Amino acid sequence: MTTTTISRPAYGIRVRRLLGVASVIALAIATWLALFWSPRDAAMGEVVRILYVHVPNAWLAYLSFVVVFLASVGYLWTKRPLLDAIAVSSAEIGVLFTGLTLVLGSIWARPTWGVWWTWEPRLITTAVMFVMYVGYLLVRSLSTDLERRATRAAVLGIVLVVDVPIVHLSVTWMNALHQLPSVLRPDLSPTLDRSMLTALVVMVAAFTILYAYVMTARVELELARQARALAARQ
């Protein structure tokens, strides 16, 4: 079997460990704020606490797919394999966040709307986004040629990002059951209570640190996979 050695810079391992510890601590604090510190909602009751994990998952899904877009543009521009590794890693993590957004939204919808699922614009566009990025990951397996695969994926990564603003703005464009944005509003004035906003912002920060941690680990795996594929070809 062909062997390949992947160098791991010591500072990189330290940074990742730091991100891992920071994400665990931040998630613990954010979960305490969301479950015990923030007040119950006057209309939704305790169910509002689901939104402290539903919304960060949705935002991190947006972030992941924007990173896929930026890395894809960068790859087509420079042809650097690192950017392809960043794109596929972020797409995989984005699919996880989108899947969780759909599942958690469904759990929130059952006691709030009375249904697990309804065919309304935000839910449909999010489900379409999930399927499209699963397709992105599948398209990558169509070719064993590294450059061809990366180029195809980069083109797809640029095209698919169009769905991100469609998902976010779908509630304002169409008559939707899903509530309107309460934080990322055009007038930049959140409609949330300050304590609820604090818990949400801390949870988003914790999820963002987790995303950075997972990305560093996933990108390293992808770079190792690329190196093995190159070594096997030679």
| Residue 108 sits in the site that holds another protein (CB under 8 A) | yes
Q: Which of 37, 46, 128, 173 binds another protein (CB under 8 A)?
A: 46
| Residue 178 sits in the site that holds another protein (CB under 8 A) | no
Q: Which of 73, 96, 176, 201 binds another protein (CB under 8 A)?
A: 96
| Residue 220 sits in the site that holds another protein (CB under 8 A) | yes
> For residues 196, 201, 206 and 209, what is the CA-based torsion angle, rounded to 10 degrees?
170
Q: Which of 76, 107, 155, 158 binds another protein (CB under 8 A)?
A: 107
Partner residues linked to 45 by β-bridges: 41
How far CA 130 is from CA of 95, 133, 161, 180, 190, in Å, comes to 6, 6, 12, 21, 27
Place of tokens 């450059």: 147
54 vs 149 by CB, closer to another protein: 54
Phi, psi of 114 (to 5 degrees): 90, 0
Count the neighbouring beta carbons within 10 Å of the beta carbon of residue 104: 19
Q: Are 179 and 109 in contact (CB under 8 A)?
A: no
12 vs 45 by CB, closer to another protein: 45
CB of 196 to another protein, least distance (A): 15
104 vs 150 by CB, closer to another protein: 104
From the list 38, 45, 32, the residue with the least C-alpha distance to 192 is 38
| Residue 4 sits in the site that holds another protein (CB under 8 A) | yes
53 vs 154 by CB, closer to another protein: 53
117 vs 173 by CB, closer to another protein: 117
